[in-house]
Amino acid sequence: EVQLVESGGGLEQPGGSLRLSCAASGFTFNTYALSWVRQAPGKGLEWVSAISPGGSTYYADSVKGRFTISRDSSKSTLYLQMNSLRADDTAVYYCAKGEIQWEFPPGAFDIWGQGTMVTVSS
């Protein structure tokens, strides 16, 4: 079964850091693009960052310079290092798998994790 499981969320103070993880299983990890998508409380979906099968990285303007996406193929795990956190980073963070193997843009997001909540507050 293809599955994504996020972890690492929690409460952090403004200016602090958190690292989110997304453990993948059931597919060849480094042959698909993976993304982070967030959803602030009561708001819509916002794409945050992506990593292509070739390792190229992409970021939304709202997180560029503060967040870093990476992956460890030996562990089939995707990461999001979040630094200089702000209150408006408060959201549920989902990891999502691209639909098309070896492609970027990868088409649709066909598999989503259950999400992990990040709260930035003093």
Partner 1 sequence: QSVLTQPPSVSGAPGQRVTISCTGNSFNIGTGYDVHWYQQLRGTAPKLLIYGNGNRPSGVPDRFSGSKSGTSASLAITGLQAEDEADYYCQSYDTSLSGPCVFGTGTKVTVL
Residues that bind partner 1 (CB under 8 A): 35, 37, 44-47, 49-50, 58-61, 64, 94, 99, 105, 107-110, 112-115
Cis peptide before 105 (omega within 30 of 0): yes
CB closer to partner 1, 1 vs 74: 1
Tokens of 74: 């030996």
Whose Cβ is closer to partner 1: residue 50's or residue 120's? 50
Q: Which is nearer to partner 1, 114 or 121 (CB)?
A: 114
Tokens at 121, concatenated = 């507050």
Residue 44 or 54 with smaller CB distance to partner 1? 44
Q: Cβ of residue 63: shortest distance to partner 1, in angstroms?
A: 9
The three-state secondary structure class of 31 is helix
Min dist. Cβ of residue 13 to partner 1 (A): 26
CB of 81 to partner 1, least distance (A): 17
Q: Strand (E) positions, 26-107?
A: 34-39, 45-51, 57-59, 67-72, 77-82, 91-98
Q: Assign 107 to helix, strand or coil.
A: coil
